[in-house]
Structure 1
Amino acid sequence: MKRFGLSLGKGVLWALFTLVFGLLQLWIILARDAVLVSPEFNFNQMILSGTLLFFASAVVSAICIDYYLGRSGDMHRILVGFVYFIYPMGIMTLCVFLFAFCFTSSTNPSAVNVSVVKTVQSTVLIMTIVYAVFTKTVMYFQEGVE
């Protein structure tokens, strides 16, 4: 149980560091705008540009590449297929379709229901974070946490 707790802790830590450093430019912009009297940051524009989708795609693909290059653990083939193929493909498909939608709608952004796009992107980010914590926990557990 101690080994699982350490693995889970490392998985959560990995996800947190990835969020902090992967979105560092966003944090700097938000900090800058918190200090400015008239902030320039437009959250809706950031959502419609697909910035968070690129982040989610990069995290998911990095985890899959880690697995395929490492492959040190024993997992059932069906579980491996779901965790390292079906689930990531679901996230990536959502990212691609949503980005394509936002990109093609960029000529008329007033026609886009931004709240729906925010909801879908939030869902993608939550799915990505859960995926990162789960897969990294499994990887660290199989490697034997030190």
Structure 2
Amino acid sequence: MIAAKCRGQLRFATVIAVLIFLSILGNGAFAQGETQQGVIELTLPRPVSGNEKVWVEVRTRALPKQAEIRVTAPDETLFGTISPYGAPGTLHHEAATATYTIPLPPSAISDGHVELCLEVDEPDKPPRAPWPVEVESLNLVYVPVSD
């Protein structure tokens, strides 16, 4: 279980590093199979049961002042926004980590996969992909629900 989580985090860091590299080169083409540029694909470890929902857990480090991370579907449907104001370390510019969970609609799951796009929004700057030092990991978590 721990090894699988480490592989998932390593895979995410690799995807972010490749996206950053491609954006530096100005290359607009990133493809992994039929995955679009900037799309992160996460695989569910098992099917979702009838009494569960799936949320995405985003672990972040310090972001630039007034920056937010938008979590969307590839079609730009907004799932949630991470605003780390007041999170540990944000007041003293420390590199503390914070974990945020965002609920995903059932429509976000397709064939046991979830596709997400992450964008950092900063005032007076164009949106960009997060740097690896800003987003440490993405994990899908099962949340029990009652009827």
Report the TM-score, using the length of structure 1 for normalisation.
Answer: 0.31
Higher helix proportion (structure 1 or 2): 1
Higher strand proportion (structure 1 or 2): 2
Q: Quick one: higher RCO (CA 8 Å, sep 6+), 1 or 2?
A: 1
Report the TM-score, using the length of structure 2 for normalisation.
Answer: 0.31
**Higher Rg:** 1
